[in-house]
Amino acid sequence: MNWLHAVILGIVEGITEFLPVSSTGHLTIIEKLLGHDIEGRGITAFTAVIQIGAILAAVLFFRKDIVRIVIAWFRGLAGAEARRDPDYTLGWGIILGSIPVAVVGLAFRDLIEGGLRNLWVVAIALLVWSAAMWAADRMAALRADPKEMQDISIRDALIIGGFQALSPLFPGVSRSGATISAGLALGYDRVTSTRLSFFMGIPALVAAGAMQAVTSFDDISETVGWVPTIIATVVSFVVAYAAIAWLLRFVSKNSFTSFIVYRIIVALVLMGLLAGGVISA
Phi then psi for 173, rounded to 5 degrees? -65, -45
Query: What's the predicted TM-score (pTM) here?
Result: 0.86
DSSP percent split of the chain into helix, strand, coil, nearest 5 = 80, 0, 20
Can you list the alpha helix ranges (DSSP code H) found in 34-189? 41-49, 51-61, 63-78, 86-97, 99-107, 109-113, 119-142, 154-164, 166-169, 175-185
CA-based end-to-end distance of the chain? 21
Each residue's pLDDT, cut to its tens digit, for the chain (281 residues) gives: 899 999 999 999 999 988 999 888 889 889 988 988 877 788 888 888 898 999 999 999 999 999 999 999 999 998 888 888 999 999 999 998 888 887 887 777 767 666 666 888 889 999 999 999 999 999 888 887 888 888 888 899 899 988 888 887 787 888 888 999 999 999 999 999 999 998 988 887 787 777 777 777 788 888 888 999 999 999 999 999 999 999 999 998 988 999 999 999 999 999 998 888 877 76
- Nearby residues of 232 by Cβ (< 8 Å), 6 or more positions away: 6, 7, 9, 10, 13, 46, 50, 53
